[in-house]
């Protein structure tokens, strides 16, 4: 399992459009993808309801977790998902 901590840049946090973009990107990954608060349990990053339920605000840190799979480069997935939440463009 690969994991990365990222600070959320969007002024609306992981809500509305930024959350939808994040979930869409996670859904394209053929491995399990989770998202969590720094010390919390991960939720399914492919579920908009679970991502919104975390209620992540701007400048809060999250953990992105990618399950291991032979046909998935976890670093590439983490880079893409990190880019989505670390930019404020998605708002």
Which listed residue (14, 15, 22, 66) is catalytic?
A: 15
The answer to whether residue 15 is catalytic is yes
Distance (Å, rounded) from C-alpha 78 to C-alpha 40? 19
Sign of the Cα pseudo-torsion (13, 15, 16, 17, in order): positive
Q: What is the largest CA-CA distance in the chain?
A: 36
Sign of the Cα pseudo-torsion (15, 16, 21, 23, in order): positive
Active-site positions? 15
């Amino acid at each position: 399992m690969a994991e990365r901590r990222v600070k959320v840049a969007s002024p609306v946090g992981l809500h509305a459009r930024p959350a939808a973009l994040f979930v869409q990107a996670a859904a394209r990954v053929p491995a399990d993808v989770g998202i969590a608060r720094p010390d919390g349990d991960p939720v399914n990053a492919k579920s908009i309801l679970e991502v919104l339920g975390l209620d992540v605000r701007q400048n809060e840190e999250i953990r992105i977790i990618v399950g291991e799979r032979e046909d998935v480069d976890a670093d590439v997935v983490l880079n893409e998902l990190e880019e989505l939440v670390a930019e404020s463009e998605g708002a």
